Structure 1
Amino acid sequence: MRSWRRGAPGVAAVGGALLGVALLAACTSGPDPVAAASPTVGPLDVYLDLITGVEDESAEAFVAQASKAEEIVAACMHDAGFEYVPDPTRYHSSVQDTEALATFDEHAYAAEYGYGLTEPGERPGITTSSVADDPNTEYQMAMSPAQGAAYQKALQGVFAFGDTAPTDEEIDAAYTAPWTEKGCSGRAEHEAFDWEVATSEDVVMIRDEWEGSWQRDLDPQFDAVRTAWVACMREAGTPAYTHPQDAVDQLQAEMLVRQEALAGGEPGSGKAWKELHELEITVAVADLACQDATDYQDELEALEHERQQEFVDTHRAELDALVERYSADR
């Protein structure tokens, strides 16, 4: 299932991540949700698009929304008596160039870097930002403790926890508070992103019900797909893995073990590290080849869409009611 927004106002205030993949433009007068499903978009995904009313969740659209949000934050902070330089990177740590990624040769990358664990290779089309780039840091550092607290309160509202680490209960309360209590960030995200529908109780309940209704790893059809991949990997002479993510997880675990064994030495050096890097390349190359040979990703996607269809057939009345309810407000 495609990722769909579960973010909440206030996310940027605590370091929100870039959320989003391409969504279908849709409205109640648009195509039938099931008919609109495609090889990459399942029938439940389409319904959720209709309900949330998000026309474009591409990386480029998200960056544009982030820029709009930051202009709102700047105006709001100015009204509160503070200076503020718009900083769209608060809403994302990396931005993907979808056109560049479309031409990215993952097989060539795997042959040189494996999964990018022991020796991360540069993936074209991805730019990153860091907290150190925040143009407002110097301004805040010059403030007195009282001024800094007031600044954070204006910016984050209930997310301004101060120097004391918040409890889980305090964090939960902050996330569930209305956007009006989340300072200028909450106001900006409310106006620029409109996440309220995606995070509303009834929509989250539908999503949670779907996630609880289908456990991929327990599905007999998934076991058939997985078994074909395992057999292919065995023929390639790799260690025993149960599925692609298991291969990554085991290599990461071994990498951490060897890092600890370095006892202060530099990762990336020494015979043991070189051996692990070579194993990683061998596994990654075989993994991609076996996924291609078994149509692993296509088979998984087809299976998930089939299960989504079953869920939609069972919950169509609820989904139609949600579409009608939330589209009436737009």
Structure 2
Amino acid sequence: MRRAFSRRPGRIGRRRLTTTALAGTALLLAVTGYVSAGAPAGEGGAAAPAGTVATTAAGRSLLHDAEQELQRRCMTAAGFRYWAKPEDPLPEARDFPYVVDDAQWAGRYGYGSVLEPRVEALRRQDPNRVYLGGLSLERRHAAVTALNGTTDGQGLRAELPGGAVVGHNGNGCRVTAWRALYGDAADWYAANTLVSNLGGIRRQRVAAEPEFAAAVRAWSACMREHGFPYRTPREARDAFLGGKSAPDRAREVRVAVREAQCTHDSGLAAVAQRLDHHHDRELRREYRTAVERVERLRAAALPRARAVLGR
């Protein structure tokens, strides 16, 4: 489950990882990633390099819906049921990759622990999960294979920044949907997978900036002045999220609200935003070819998506 703090991406070495058709229910869950965790505002929709028009949020939503509909049709043809995965299943969740900077949100949700039961309820009630749970083991494996494909034949491949190579089976309903929308599924997978991993690198670079570290120290001093001796925003949120016992809800809200206030008083919010935008631009220039390829493929796919959805 995604939480209101960002995960620290691991170091990427030169290794190969391959996604295969796994038995069980995990790969067919329709509801994933509810509580905010690491994708900063605008991720996936930040400015493209000069000369390339970035796909709008509405356009990305259209592509998501079309991909889900194509997967549903493919699964139906294979003899299985499939329910479209909602793009934003829990709109109340927010992404705060560096620090909570919205006091109003914090006053209502704290660090998001109050949303955790809703996340679990959505997971339990996910129609794909329920459906798979009602199938025999043989049929369940067949359904997962129909969606994710098999290792037979040539798979898809993407090289990530740092040299890691990841893969995906070259068939199955997911790949069928990509091919219908983007034409060349291998090209789409390679470019989109690389670009999708730039966010974690950007956050690493921001966190490594001396200016960011200094702003965090100023934030921590502000928190101490108000009786909350936390060294970092992550330390504050870890005190309330993911524990075995229920958090002190009233204290969680007080700490989160003070975090948001100290974020602005200390200048951390402004520093984080400026550095985030700076490294976003730098990474998109550094990986310009992949970024431009993703945007061209998206632009070409939009008419197909509208045809699929009848819009």
TM bin (shorter chain): 0.5 to 0.7
Q: CA deviation at 1:243?
A: 2.4
Query: Which is higher, the Rg of structure 1 or of structure 2?
Result: 1
Question: Which deviates more, 288-297 or 212-221?
Answer: 212-221
Q: Does 1:13 align with 2:27?
A: yes
Q: Does 1:221 align with 2:211?
A: yes
Q: CA deviation at 1:287?
A: 0.8
> Equivalent residue for 1:56?
56
> Residues 114 and 281 of structure 1 are in contact (CA less than 8 Å); yes or no, is this contact kept in structure 2?
yes
Q: Which ranges of structure 2 fall in alignment gaps of 5 or more residues?
A: 1-18, 34-38, 94-100, 152-165, 301-311
Match of 1:141 among 130, 134, 139: 134
Which amino acid in 2 is paired with 1:46? A
> Equivalent residue for 1:88?
84
Report the number of matched residues: 249
Q: CA RMSD, aligned part only?
A: 5.0
- SS of residue paired to 2:241: helix
TM-score, reference length from structure 2: 0.57
Correspondences of 1:51-200 after superposition (within 5 Å): 55-57=55-57, 61-62=60-61, 64-80=62-78, 82-84=79-81, 86-89=82-85, 92=87, 94-96=89-91, 106-108=102-104, 110-111=106-107, 114-117=110-113, 119-120=114-115, 129-130=122-123, 132-134=125-127, 137-138=130-131, 141=134, 145-158=137-150, 176-178=167-169, 180-181=170-171, 183-192=172-181, 199-200=189-190
In the superposition, relative to structure 1, how do residues 74 and 113 fare at CA in structure 2: closer, same or farther (>3 Å)?
closer
Which structure: greater helix fraction?
Answer: 1
> Residues 109 and 253 of structure 2 are in contact (CA less than 8 Å); yes or no, is this contact kept in structure 1?
yes
| Percent of matched pairs sharing the same residue | 19
> Residues 71 and 176 of structure 2 are in contact (CA less than 8 Å); yes or no, is this contact kept in structure 1?
yes
Q: Does 1:282 align with 2:254?
A: yes
Match of 1:301 among 266, 270, 273: 273
In the superposition, relative to structure 1, how do residues 54 and 21 fare at CA in structure 2: closer, same or farther (>3 Å)?
farther
- SS of residue paired to 1:176: strand
CA–CA separation in structure 2 for the residues paired with 1:10 and 1:235 = 53
